[in-house]
Amino acid sequence: MTSVAPKLEPIIRPIQYRDLEAVKQLLVDTYPQSCLGSSYGHEHQLQQLHRWSNLLKLLQLFPNHFSEQLRTYVWEQNNELAGVVRVSPFNHARSTWRFDQVSVLPAFGQQDVGTQLLRYCLKNIWEARTWLTEIEINQSAALALYRHNGFQPLAQITYWSLEPEQLQELATREPALPNLLPVNNADAPLLYQLDTASMPPLVRQVFDRHVQDFKANVVASLWSGLQLWGQPQELVRAYVFEPQRKAAIGYFEINLCRNGSQPHEARLTVHPAYTWLYPELLTHMAQLTQVYPAAPLQLDSTDYQPEREEYLQQVGAEHLDQTLMMSRSVWHKLRESRSISFDTLQLSEMLQGLQPNHNPVPGRMTCRLTQSDLTRADGHQHASARSSFGHPTATTWSRGKRSWK
């Protein structure tokens, strides 16, 4: 008689070094049929973790920027990995976090395992007040998963690509950028003001960015240098300064590929009152790409900046992809068992400290009012009273008994 091994309960735990190969295989298996995210970015991150695994193990002994790259959790049952989720802080204050990757094997139930992974992160990462994610609009399973867990649409992002021929044509014109300056930490307040002015209030509240988000510390610069080390890439950052208002009105960041093996990637931010900067900054970026081998330029635009999308369509940019940014707030954690309304609020429960302990006891007070007191208090009234009745009266209270004189 053969004994059946008991089925263990599924657990969710942080990723370990021995899980890297299994997780990469899971991403490869789920990419053609799973709609729970794009696997290329996550596989690239796992390759970096595998490359720097020994260094990251050592640096986990104390808080540091490198340990954030290990915020990956796996869903395991019977020593078999069926799901993986990767999250990262979105801002410096760590009040907003982002779901970077969620992948689940279809045989285990994408919605069930995906919901467990999402809720595990929502519950255990206590410092997160708001969560973000970005999903392709044609990934119906991923959209259903996040909507089932309380995520709401925040903005729509469109990705564009400019071919080398279009970049060469744009680079023939000289842009009008007299106050184009390089970026350093002293310019962080200007970039923060530009960033907050370029987005609607709801997006600004969800992003919750501060001045520190636009400053590069030593550890972050070191980590960025390690990521770019050995890769043919160059990062260029600059902003346009308006001297009269003493403010930044435009900013761009472009990651140039030196050998043409990958497309150039750019990020562009323009103040809503200075939309004429779109063609000027894009022309300057096109000139920067002419120094290196021919490669397309990729950048994104949001639905709350329609002028950028109109200009990209005007210059003939190719539409690559369209995604939906979704968010969920976990700041207000109210009990769902009891509805809270003004009708159900009991003032006696809220103001228990103001309730009297016993009935008040009257004190023994003697008050003696004379004609002089009455005259000083109500001179006009008593004057009219004397003229009406002729004889004033005086009343005396003594020990609670009233006697007339």
Residues 298-331: tens digit of each pLDDT? 999 999 988 999 999 999 999 999 999 999 998 7
pLDDT of residue 290: 93
Alpha-carbon distance of 275 to 336, in angstroms, equals 46
Give kind and range of the element (H or E) at residue 23: helix 20-30
DSSP secondary structure, 42-80, as one string: HHHHHHHHHHTHHHHHHHTTS--SGGGGG-EEEEEETTE
The residues that bridge with 338 in the sheet, in sequence order, are none
DSSP annotation of 33: T
Alpha-carbon distance of 56 to 76, in angstroms, equals 23
Residue partners of 102: CB distance under 8 A and separation at least 6: 36, 37, 83, 84, 85, 86, 114, 117, 118, 142, 145
- 184 conformational bin, left if phi > 0, alpha if psi -120 to 50, beta if neither: beta
Q: Kindly state the percentage of the chain with pLDDT values over 90.
A: 47
Alpha-carbon distance of 286 to 169, in angstroms, equals 9
Alpha-carbon distance of 115 to 148, in angstroms, equals 8
Burial profile 142-168: b = 16 or more Cβ within 10 angstroms, e = fewer: bbebbeebebeebbebbebbbbbebbe
Give the CA count within 13 Å in the CB-facing half-sphere of 198. 24
**Residues shown for the chain:** 405
Residues 62-88: tens digit of each pLDDT? 555 555 556 889 999 888 888 999 899
Burial profile 244-260: b = 16 or more Cβ within 10 angstroms, e = fewer: eeebbbbbbbbbbbeee
The neighbour count for residue 403, using CB atoms within 10 Å, is 8
Amino acid of residue 1: M
The residues that bridge with 158 in the sheet, in sequence order, are 301, 322
Residues 102-150: tens digit of each pLDDT? 989 888 888 899 999 999 999 999 889 999 999 999 989 899 999 999 9
Q: Which domains are seen in the chain, by residue range?
A: 9-150 (3.40.630.30), 157-323 (3.40.630.30)
pLDDT of residue 79: 83
Alpha-carbon distance of 67 to 229, in angstroms, equals 19
Which long-range contacts (C-beta less than 8 Å, at least 24 apart) are formed by 358-362? Answer: none
Chain-centroid distance, C-alpha 289 = 32
**Sheet bearing 264-270, strands edge to edge:** 11-14, 72-77, 80-89, 96-104, 130-136, 318-329, 152-162, 297-302, 264-270, 247-257, 233-242, 180-182
Q: Of 177-191, 254-268, 359-373, give the lowest mean pLDDT range.
A: 359-373
Residues 195-246: tens digit of each pLDDT? 999 999 999 999 999 999 998 876 666 666 666 666 678 889 999 999 999 9
Contact assessment for residue 190 and residue 240, using Cβ atoms and an 8 Å cutoff: no
| pTM (2 d.p.) | 0.73
Q: What is the mean pLDDT of residues 158-164?
A: 94
Contact assessment for residue 103 and residue 36, using Cβ atoms and an 8 Å cutoff: yes
DSSP annotation of 293: S
How far from 153 is each of 133, 144, 224, CA to CA, in Å? 10, 12, 31
Contact assessment for residue 228 and residue 198, using Cβ atoms and an 8 Å cutoff: no
